[in-house]
Amino acid sequence: MKARRRLVRLAHSPADADVLTRVYAHRGITDPAQVDHGLGGLPPHTALSGIDAATALLETALWEAWSILVVGDFDADGATSTALALRALGAMGASRLDYLVPNRFDYGYGLTPEIVAVAADRAPDLIITVDNGIASIEGVRAARDRGIRVLVTDHHLPGEHLPEADALVDPNLPGDPFPAKSLAGVGVIFYVLAALRARLRAGGWFRQRGLPEPVMGDLLDLVALGTVADVVPLERTNRILVEQGLRRIRAGRAVPGIRVLLEVAGRNPQRVVAADLGFAAGPRLNAAGRMDDMSLGIECLLTDDANRARELARALDDLNRERREVEQQMQAEALEGLEALLQGGLDRETWHGLCVHEPHWHQGVIGIVASRLKERLHRPVIAFAPGEEGTLKGSARSIPGLHMRDALAAIDAAHPGLITRFGGHAMAAGLSLPADRLETFRHRFDDHVRRTLKPADLEGLIQSDGPLAEHELNLETAEALRAAGPWGQGFPEPLFDGEFQVLERRLLAGRHLRLRLRPRGGRTEIGGIAFHIDPQDWPEDRDRVHLAYRLDANEFRGACSAQLVVEHVLDPDRV
């Protein structure tokens, strides 16, 4: 069972324009300045509301040698945010630094009162939240009741009420003039600490203490990894941050942990692109928080010992393999359950928002399962796993047209008590609810999705940059496209389409297809790869296919060649 998909070609630029001009035009970019990735294009930190209060608080913490505890999140954004905060504050002279990341299985997300109780045993004078805190009303109150000051730095959407923190920085606060609303959590703490460095410089801190002034740009490798891994939209500010971080990784200036995470994934740090962070380094870092404890990932990013970093990266790689096995089993079970429902008489058109749950599912993997099902079915999906006694924890993924956090807020307002807690973004969110209310929630969620989305929204669209001419199917074009990024959420990597003759096919590992192809009417041959194929898409008697593909540079045994990475295969007679 898969979503219906329709190929749509993006508006064409002039036919004689080169590939990059066409691709950029399709993404609304016509001014070369929009793809200038120099740091001078970043908006100033002064535009963030709350930045003065935050830096004043941190300056006092340094002058008075407070004990500072960074409380992070258990994903890659939280891990990179935590590592960046500790590295930057340490370079600025903070001597009493520690961190704490809630274990998702014991405490759940954010600065909860329970985590504050754990934190209090370390006697911090100041708690800094990174990538969380905007929804921690009770946790901030619990900290302040204990005499602990709190600085909240976050990027999630705020609710109706804000925590009563000593300082609060979030570009999504109502009325905040900062133009880049899509910063990841690591981008927010980067801005806060860059502003702190400017404040300390103006106050003579570095001169009086005899400290070298830290170069904040040296931390952009962490910003790039956290930003890409958190799948936030790559609007211009995030593209600058990511590209600058990638340049540092390629130049050998990354922290050892990032370099070895790429290496254990079989990626060359000298040729790294954003996709390598999103599909290689990011998942391995995330595996710590999903399967065990994110402290393992944070330690990998904090160590300057290359051997220690490699040891930790290998442990993360092992956890990622375990995560993949669990995920594949959970996804198979979810799809089997849906097929059974359809065979039992449930019409595909009668379900719009989908909730899936099995009592033995792993809490750390439900987000990936929801994402995979969303991609396959093109429906908003929430996957649930058992939480604390009598509760379920859900991870939600949406499609264009449905703002997931707003959807949960609307359901919560209409049915008080149905949802215990929720938070998140437009395309991804998390929630908790009583286990005995799942069926009620399932219907309420489907009702809301049905009222919100139009039938056309449920049809998956393959948006193509159009065909490439035969003379453009080469390594030069592939390398130009690699260099033209960074590509990612909201600024998608170029996808082309065209008809090809299949000259040769070879199954790899039972799941992937190695191809030899020739463009229709052409003479040249080009290699291709299709990952995780559905055999129904590749019948043995079909030697003519219409492909939606990315053009990439394939590096193998020191040599590079152009290849097509097939994203979708279509019957050419139906395109």
- Please provide the DSSP assignment of 1-45 as one string: ----EEEEEPPP--TTS-HHHHHHHHTT--SGGGG---GGGSPPG
Cβ atoms within 10 A of the Cβ of 434, count? 16
Which pLDDT value is given to residue 572?
77
Contact between 180 and 238 under an 8 Å Cβ cutoff? The reply is yes
Taking alpha carbons only, the member of 255, 143, 145, 237 closest to residue 183 is 237
Dihedral (CA of 18, 23, 24, 26) sign: positive
Taking alpha carbons only, the member of 322, 388, 384, 296 closest to residue 105 is 388
DSSP 123: -
Structure pTM?
Answer: 0.90
| CATH code that applies to domain 347-458 | 3.10.310.30
Taking alpha carbons only, the member of 160, 106, 101, 107 closest to residue 132 is 101
Round to whole Å and give the CA distance between 410 and 490: 25
SS3 505: strand
Partners of 488 in beta bridges: 491
**Ranges in the chain annotated CATH 3.90.1640.30:** 43-318
Taking alpha carbons only, the member of 349, 457, 442, 460 closest to residue 403 is 457
Provide CB contacts within 8 A for 374, sequence distance 6+: 380, 381, 397, 398, 399
Contact between 509 and 519 under an 8 Å Cβ cutoff? The reply is no
Q: Please give the structure tokens belonging to residue 184.
A: 């990841």
Q: Which fold has domain 43-318?
A: inorganic pyrophosphatase (n-terminal core) (3.90.1640)
Q: Please give the structure tokens belonging to residue 347.
A: 């019409």
Dihedral (CA of 359, 362, 364, 370) sign: negative
| H or E element that contains 337 | helix 306-343
**Ranges in the chain annotated CATH 3.10.310.30:** 347-458
Residue 123 φ then ψ, to 5°: 55, 55
Contact between 411 and 445 under an 8 Å Cβ cutoff? The reply is yes
DSSP 58: H
SS (H, E, C) 241-252: HHHHHHHHHHCC
Round to whole Å and give the CA distance between 1 and 54: 51
Round to whole Å and give the CA distance between 398 and 375: 9
191 in the Ramachandran plot: left (φ > 0), alpha (ψ -120 to 50) or beta? alpha
Separation in Å, CA 70 to CA 78, 79, 81, 313, 467: 10, 11, 9, 23, 49
SS (H, E, C) 415-472: CCCCCCEEEECCCEEEEEEEHHHHHHHHHHHHHHHHHHCCHHHHCEEEEECCCCCHHH
Which pLDDT value is given to residue 1?
53
**Ranges in the chain annotated CATH 2.40.50.460:** 5-31+462-574
Provide CB contacts within 8 A for 421, sequence distance 6+: 135, 431, 432
Residue 131 φ then ψ, to 5°: 60, 25
Q: Please give the structure tokens belonging to residue 418.
A: 């149905």
Q: Please give the structure tokens belonging to residue 335.
A: 């799809």
DSSP secondary structure, 124-161, as one string = -SEEEEES--TT-HHHHHHHHHTT-EEEEE--SPP-SS
Dihedral (CA of 142, 148, 149, 153) sign: negative
Residue 361 φ then ψ, to 5°: -70, 150
Query: Which residue is it, tokens 């954010």?
Result: 110
| CATH code that applies to domain 5-31+462-574 | 2.40.50.460
Cβ atoms within 10 A of the Cβ of 122, count? 13
Q: Please give the structure tokens belonging to residue 1.
A: 């069972």
Which pLDDT value is given to residue 480?
95
SS3 516: strand
Round to whole Å and give the CA distance between 381 and 372: 9
pLDDT in tens, the chain (575 residues): 566 678 888 866 565 678 999 999 999 998 888 899 999 999 999 999 999 999 999 999 999 999 999 999 989 999 999 999 999 999 999 999 999 998 776 777 789 999 999 999 999 999 999 999 999 999 999 999 999 999 999 999 898 899 999 999 999 999 999 999 999 999 999 999 999 999 999 999 999 999 999 999 999 999 999 999 998 999 999 999 999 999 999 999 999 999 999 999 999 999 999 999 999 999 999 999 888 889 999 999 999 999 999 999 999 999 999 999 998 898 888 888 777 765 655 455 567 899 999 999 998 899 889 998 898 889 999 999 998 889 999 999 999 999 999 999 999 999 999 999 888 888 889 999 999 999 999 999 999 999 999 988 888 889 999 999 999 999 999 999 999 999 998 899 999 999 999 999 999 988 899 999 999 999 999 999 999 888 888 888 888 999 999 999 988 777 889 999 999 998 777 66
Q: Between 256-264 and 282-291, two packed helices, what is the crossing angle to 10 degrees?
A: 90
Which pLDDT value is given to residue 460?
83
Which pLDDT value is given to residue 540?
84
Contact between 546 and 575 under an 8 Å Cβ cutoff? The reply is yes
Cβ atoms within 10 A of the Cβ of 217, count? 16
